[in-house]
Amino acid sequence: MKFVSTRGQTKPHLFSEAVKIGLAPDKGLFVPESMPDLSQEIPTWEGLSYPELCYEFFKHFATDIPADELKSLVEKAYSRFDHKEHAPLVKLSDKLYVQELFHGPTLAFKDFALQLLGCLYERQVAMSGESINVLGATSGDTGAAAISGLLGKKGVNIFILYPDGRVSPLQERQMTCLEEENVFPLCIKGSFDDAQAALKDVFGDKEFSQEVHLSAVNSINLARILAQCVYYIYAYLKLPADRRERATFVVPTGNFGNVLAGWMASRMGMIVDGFRVATNQNDILHRFFDAGDYSLGEVLPSHAPSMDIQVASNFERFLYFSLGGNAEMTREIMESFKKDGSFQVGGMAITEFMTSTRMDDEEIAKTISEVYREYGYTADPHTACGFKDLDKLETAVVLSTAHPAKFPDVVANCTGVEPTHPSLEALKSKEIRKFSVDPDEASIKAFIRSKQ
């Protein structure tokens, strides 16, 4: 299989090439040239372990990696999870389930993609003999998960941009309390959107990217989205058979990558009732799916900091697919959005199959308390955003995106019990090591060059 750019001005690439490059040279995002039809295969995957299911899924995409090698990469990627099911499905009622995606090394759903991406990068370095510099931006969990996935990987330096003071204290410690000399947490003044915009500008300089062998770790990287498709199929097969096609996946998301992965799985043959985008008060995605308005707003700090985003980078992939693979129209819309900060859906029917909700901080706190009282279940602030208007759904699967111990103050205030985790407790006595840079292309390039 080959992968093309959403903007249509880049030649098709094989899987490993697309993963290596990250952002397409025309500044678009890589997508499969065509979606495989897995409708006949998915039922046969019931009962497989998580790594086995991941392998069966990825062999349709990573066609340039020998089967035995791919299987070994997958097994290594998921060897550090602390639950035998990796992504267990917890039943709260006959109509409500929670899929826990926080059993990886950094206690967040990003581990599912970034543990695998780290192994793919390690393979790339071994095959090419060239070191690489991995650049990413984070609103909280991506940075720690990316660093964890790349720790101990030879020939890899990792640079993570994050908004200073706008991630939780423990999220910051997961990125900065490390002694490895190849890890560079870069704090910036501003929001995640400022970091993401600067990152895209850096990748847009083809000469610089080639000079320092730059690769992307954000969800702009194709492997990230494909890896996240797997846990949807895993949850789908764990549901009672008579509820699968009636299920709605409810997905807390800011950057749109998480829910996009589920939507892509449905396009490949996982038949469900639909998807719901659950946002916090930074609600550009809710405004789009509710009213067709995709326009920038001010980024407001919230109880759910990983969703404090107003430019959802993976929205471009959704737009491309919804427009029938029309790269020219996608390019025009995205270029117009960059210039004007908005676009309207108009006559395009691209919001079908997805609904959305919004929660402000007051609602998040209230929901954490209610879920704890009613079900005895502790939800982190991001997961809490998914527990809104669920009575309207026949069967709901809420994706739990992070361990509540990453946000102890908010959760303790709402439940009366402070959540803890041994890996986080160990960080509290360690020294923070971070670097300040301006959120602009020149400053970031200069820092990366200084570490070569």
> What confidence tens digit (pLDDT) does each residue in 368-423 have?
999 999 999 999 999 999 999 999 899 999 999 999 999 999 999 999 999 999 99
Say how many C-beta atoms besides its own lie within 10 A of residue 24's C-beta.
Answer: 24
Q: Dihedral of CA 248/114/405/89: which sign?
A: positive
Q: How confident is the model at residue 57 (pLDDT cuts 50, 70, 90)?
A: very high
Of 110, 200, 406, 445, the active-site residue reads: 110
Per the listing, tokens 């959802």 go with 312
Mean pLDDT of 130-154: 88
- For residue 146, which of 124, 119, 179 has the smallest C-alpha distance? 119
Say how many C-beta atoms besides its own lie within 10 A of residue 91's C-beta.
Answer: 13
Q: Distance between CA atoms of 304 and 244, rounded to whole angstroms?
A: 29
* pLDDT for res 350: 60
For residue 90, which amino acid is it?
A: V
Q: Distance between CA atoms of 405 and 242, rounded to whole angstroms?
A: 34
Judged against a pLDDT cut of 70, whether residue 349 lies above it is answered with: no
- Go through the chain and tell me how many residues it has: 452
Q: Distance between CA atoms of 143 and 137, rounded to whole angstroms?
A: 7
Per-position b or e across 396-409, b if 16+ CB within 10 A of its CB: bbbbbbbbbbbbbe
* pLDDT for res 353: 81
- Global pTM? 0.92
Q: How confident is the model at residue 186 (pLDDT cuts 50, 70, 90)?
A: very high
Q: Is 366 a catalytic residue?
A: no
* pLDDT for res 279: 96
Q: Distance between CA atoms of 287 and 283, rounded to whole angstroms?
A: 6
Identify the structural domains of the chain with CATH numbers, from first to last.
83-107+223-420 (3.40.50.1100)
Which residue has better confidence, 5 or 215?
5
Mean pLDDT of 230-248: 98
Mean pLDDT of 146-151: 90
* pLDDT for res 196: 87
**Are the C-beta atoms of residues 419 and 444 closer than 8 Å to each other?**
no
Q: Are strands 395-400 and 247-252 parallel, antiparallel or unpaired?
A: parallel
Judged against a pLDDT cut of 90, whether residue 293 lies above it is answered with: no
Q: Distance between CA atoms of 56 and 48, rounded to whole angstroms?
A: 9
What share of the chain has pLDDT > 70, as a percent?
A: 98
The token duo for 28 is 């678009």
Angle between helices 408-415 and 361-375 (to 10 degrees): 60
Judged against a pLDDT cut of 90, whether residue 240 lies above it is answered with: yes
